[in-house]
Amino acid sequence: ALTLTETEVIKLDRNVFRKVMQSDSNLLPLFTNLLLRHFNRRLQRSINTKLQLQKTLESLESAHQQLIEREKMAMLGQLVAGVAHELNNPIAAILRGVENLTHTLEGLLTQLPTAEVQIKGVQLLTRAQ
């Protein structure tokens, strides 16, 4: 408590308190007012604490939802990476096969006689008959 003058605090039991209040009729309204202000401050602190707790709870719930969304996105990323890996394996094998076939065909094409050579061969065969 805050006082403007030097004050001495004494402990009162119920009986002494009752006698003091009865001794001066002005004390009871003053004491009642003091108690009301005290309880009003306590109530205001409780309300402020409750509001802070509500804000904190909302913040935690929001953070929790964000974590759930991030986990979903991470799992989706892992799934997509797995699917891409599974697709890339056969595609890579097909590409290697195409490269091998291209190389083989190029070799075979170099071994084929040109059209000019084929015409001469046909002409030779027809003359020989």
101 is written with which tokens? 């076939």
Contact residues for 118 (Cβ-Cβ < 8 A; gap 6+): none
The full set of domain ranges for the chain reads 14-113
Distance of CA 59 to the CA centre of its chain: 13
Distance (Å, whole) CA 90 – CA 110: 30
Look-up of token digits 């979903």: 72
pLDDT at 1: 65
Predicted confidence (pLDDT) per residue in 54-90, tens digit: 999 999 999 999 999 999 999 999 999 999 999 999 9
Structural contact between residues 113 and 121, judged by C-beta atoms closer than 8 angstroms: yes
pLDDT tens-digit profile of 2-58?
788 888 888 889 998 899 889 999 999 999 999 999 999 999 999 999 999 999 999
Residue 64 belongs to what H/E stretch?
Answer: helix 27-111
Looking up tokens 């904190």 gives 56
Threshold 0.75, pTM exceeds = no
Cα 6 to Cα 2, 24, 108, 126, distances in angstroms: 10, 22, 115, 141
